[in-house]
Amino acid sequence: MSRADLPRSVRRTYSHAFYLPAGILFAVLFIAPTILAFYFSLTRWTLFDAEFIGLDNFSQFLREPALTNGMRNTLIYAVVTSGLKVIIGLLLAVLLTSSIRFRTLLRSIIFFPVLVSTVAVGITFAVLMHPSKGLINRALELIGIDGPSWLTDPGIALLSVAFVDVWKGVGIAMVIFIAGILSIPEEYLDAVRLEGGFWAKLRHVIIPLSRNATFTVILLSFIGGLRTFDLIWTMTRGGPGFTTDVIASTIYKQYQAGFYGLATAGNVLVFIVVIIIVYPMMRFFSRREIEL
Amino acid sequence: MKKRRRIRENLSGVVALAIASVVFVIPFLFMVVTAGKDRAEASRLELSLPTEWHLQANIEQVMATGRDLMLTALRNSLILTVASVALIVLLSAMVGFVLQRRRDRTGSAVAALMLAGLILPPALVPTIFMLQWLGLFKTLLGLILVETMLLMPFAVLIFRTFMTAIPRELDEAAIIDGAGPLRLFFKVILPLLRPAMITVIVVSSIAVYNDFVNPLYFLPGNGNATVQLTLYEFQSQFSTKWNLLFADVLLITIPPMIMFIFFQRQLVSGLTAGAVKG
């Protein structure tokens, strides 16, 4: 085979036809709905006919307290869960890459909830968080603390759900950090082992050198946090009142009530939020990566 | 000095294990004991062994609820998971193969699209519109296609990365031997992608099986649910029968548990893919 006809053979062998089945599926179930969403968000829509009403849906979304609340809660939820996952995940990873006993067993125990369905976890914790009979408040009672009504007190309900989210998801953060820490060359760790203690190792070696892992954890959990639905829906259904509604649960409620245009406007708002927040984050992270 | 360090490692290991057990194991223990109790005992929501185990009776009662609802759900979830995973593997391996081998403009567009698929939330109601247009709304096939589409970006990422480990010389040798594109892919490349395939199978089967949002939107209506939807339905239906609710929870948690026991390594490698540059 001569060099000159390689491109043609490449074209023939690695044919674009391999993209075709996946491409059709993506076009029909991802690209088309995404584009249609922008149109239908401007309509009063019943699935069968759509009446154009301009930006009414959006102004309603930004005006009604029940709906703006969802936006605020989503952001709080995403920030709290991704922040806690980074901190706890990193500490667990540092602990479980040291020479501690039962290392493998501990990793498995912490990782396991990742695989259990979110609905099952939500149901279980809704029971554990029962204000009077729940296991959590009973345990607190034993040490003399009067536990709060985790899921019915409007002031903390959202944080309680976020806490369960962290409980379920911190295993992923942990294994990502473990992979990051294990890829740090041994010499760097040896260097600080002589110089300083644990904090020096954490501050000057582990944190800066597992930066990729940190970015991945932040991105994954932030995107997950913006989309969160299952836990909220099984634990509180957005209540009490609308205090734990997030965008995804408002969208579902509007959809159930038959306001398809309004539900789709909510969807478009999530697109916009994701693009405004996540895209610059990715750009920033990938730039920092090159500097490393 | 050395001895003291060993003691410290043992001691901190024991402490860590105790804390992890309280935080991570007790919720599961609670699930199991509640699923084994009778109705009155379960309603006290205590962490105690049942005075008498009723696990089998509870599971039988769950299975008998609502005209074979549970049996249908188990069958639906099985079909959904197997079919989606098969499609995910086949379609994504094809994309990953060409995407890694052929650098061109189409490739960049495909890569950008996959990235968008990873990040952007799906437009739910317009997807219903498309499914209805295809006549696939409220059908298992429609849901299978949606799940396939949603997990493809992740699977393509895994396959593309793994393709870099398969030398191009192998392709060239096969071509010289007279293999066409299809034979090259199915006979040479696909068998070599096996490790990546196992990762994709394990991760996506758990994701599809555990999925709740998409069945909720695209397979609504009673009688034709997936297992996750039964859990949700039982939550309101069994609100005072905790033993039955948790028998269902337990039943549904068994498949991922089995996956976990046999494929923990692949799960971890799949979920950390991309975290460390590679």
- B272 vs A179: CB contact, 8 Å cut-off? yes
Q: How many CB pairs under 8 A join A and B?
A: 253
Query: Do residues B113 and B95 lie in contact, with contact meaning Cβ atoms separated by under 8 Å?
Result: no
Give me the pLDDT at residue A202, please: 80
Radius of gyration over every alpha carbon of chain B, rounded to an integer in angstroms: 24
Q: What percent of chain A has pLDDT over 70?
A: 94
**Set of chain A residues whose Cβ sits within 8 Å of the Cβ of B157:** none
Query: Do residues B119 and B231 lie in contact, with contact meaning Cβ atoms separated by under 8 Å?
Result: no
Minimal CA–CA distance to A263: which of A71, A58, A63, A30?
A: A58
Give me the pLDDT at residue A194, please: 64
Collect all residues with Cβ–Cβ distance below 8 Å to A178 and sequence separation of at least 6. A93, A96, A97, A107, B272
Q: Given A18, A34, A230, which is nearest B94 (Cβ)?
A: A18
**Set of chain B residues whose Cβ sits within 8 Å of the Cβ of A30:** 113, 117, 122, 149
Nearest residue on chain A to B143, alpha-carbon basis: A29
Q: Is the pLDDT of residue A289 over 60?
A: no
Q: Is the pLDDT of residue B275 over 60?
A: no
Give me the pLDDT at residue A168, please: 96
Rounded to whole angstroms, the Cα distance separating B167 from B181 reads: 16
**Set of chain B residues whose Cβ sits within 8 Å of the Cβ of A209:** none
Residue of B124, B154, B203 for testing the chain A interface, max A β-carbons within 10 Å: B124
Q: Given B14, B130, B256, which is nearest A29 (Cβ)?
A: B130
**Set of chain B residues whose Cβ sits within 8 Å of the Cβ of A23:** 110
Give me the pLDDT at residue A3, please: 45
Instruction: Quote the mean pLDDT of chain A.
Output: 87
Give me the pLDDT at residue A7, please: 67
The confidence band for B254, taking pLDDT boundaries of 50, 70 and 90, is very high
Q: Which of A17-31, A278-292, B40-54, B240-254 has the lowest mean pLDDT?
A: A278-292
- B91 vs A25: CB contact, 8 Å cut-off? yes
pLDDT tens digits, B202-252: 999 999 999 999 999 999 876 788 999 998 888 888 777 889 999 999 999
Name the DSSP letter for residue B121. Answer: P
**Set of chain A residues whose Cβ sits within 8 Å of the Cβ of B34:** 127
pLDDT tens digits, A105-119: 999 999 999 999 999
- B12 vs A100: CB contact, 8 Å cut-off? yes
Query: Do residues A216 and B274 lie in contact, with contact meaning Cβ atoms separated by under 8 Å?
Result: yes
Give me the pLDDT at residue B278, please: 32
Give me the pLDDT at residue A1, please: 43
Give me the pLDDT at residue A144, please: 86
Q: What is the three-class DSSP state of A262?
A: helix
- A13 vs B184: CB contact, 8 Å cut-off? yes
Minimal CA–CA distance to B202: which of B81, B76, B75?
A: B81
Collect all residues with Cβ–Cβ distance below 8 Å to B46 and sequence separation of at least 6. A135
Give me the pLDDT at residue A92, please: 94
Sequence letter at residue A148? P
Give CA torsion, residues B130, B133, B135, B136, to 10 deg: 0
Indicate the length of chain B as a whole number: 278
| DSSP letter for each residue of A70-122 | HHHHHHHHHHHHHHHHHHHHHHHHHHTTTT-TTHHHHHHHHHGGGGS-HHHHH
**DSSP-assigned beta bridge partners for residue A50:** A45
The verdict on A142 touching B (C-beta cutoff 8 Å) is no
Q: Is the pLDDT of residue B40 over 90?
A: no
pLDDT tens digits, A33-73: 999 999 999 998 887 787 888 888 888 888 888 778 888 99
Rounded to whole angstroms, the Cα distance separating B174 from A242 reads: 62
ipTM of the complex: 0.90
Instruction: Quote the mean pLDDT of chain B.
Output: 89
Average pLDDT over residues B148-158: 94
pLDDT tens digits, A128-158: 999 888 899 999 998 888 888 899 888 899 9
Q: Which of A19-23, A133-137, B271-275 has the lowest mean pLDDT?
A: B271-275
**Set of chain A residues whose Cβ sits within 8 Å of the Cβ of B130:** 28-29, 32-33, 36
Query: Do residues A229 and A248 lie in contact, with contact meaning Cβ atoms separated by under 8 Å?
Result: yes
Rounded to whole angstroms, the Cα distance separating B264 from B268 reads: 6
Rounded to whole angstroms, the Cα distance separating B170 from B178 reads: 13
pLDDT tens digits, B66-106: 778 888 999 999 999 999 999 999 999 999 999 999 988 99
- A115 vs B217: CB contact, 8 Å cut-off? no
Average pLDDT over residues A272-291: 76
The verdict on A214 touching B (C-beta cutoff 8 Å) is no
Asked if the peptide bond before residue A240 counts as cis, ω within 30 degrees of 0, the response is: yes
Q: Is the pLDDT of residue B56 over 70?
A: yes
Indicate the length of chain A as a whole number: 292
Residue A45: what are its φ and ψ, rounded to 5°? -130, 135
- B16 vs A102: CB contact, 8 Å cut-off? yes
The confidence band for B188, taking pLDDT boundaries of 50, 70 and 90, is very high
- B228 vs A117: CB contact, 8 Å cut-off? yes
Q: What percent of chain B has pLDDT over 70?
A: 97
Give me the pLDDT at residue A231, please: 95
Average pLDDT over residues A75-98: 94
* pTM for this prediction: 0.91
**DSSP-assigned beta bridge partners for residue A44:** A51
- B272 vs A47: CB contact, 8 Å cut-off? no
Give me the pLDDT at residue A196, please: 65
Helix (H) or strand (E) holding B11: helix B2-20
The confidence band for B1, taking pLDDT boundaries of 50, 70 and 90, is low
The verdict on A27 touching B (C-beta cutoff 8 Å) is no
The confidence band for A292, taking pLDDT boundaries of 50, 70 and 90, is very low
pLDDT tens digits, A152-196: 888 899 999 999 999 999 999 999 999 888 888 888 877 776 666
Give me the pLDDT at residue A195, please: 65
Residue A66 CA, chain-centre distance (Å), reads: 23
Q: Which tokens sit at B135?
A: 């006549």
pLDDT tens digits, B105-120: 999 999 999 989 988 8
- What is the least distance, in Å, from the CA of A166 to any CA of chain B? 12
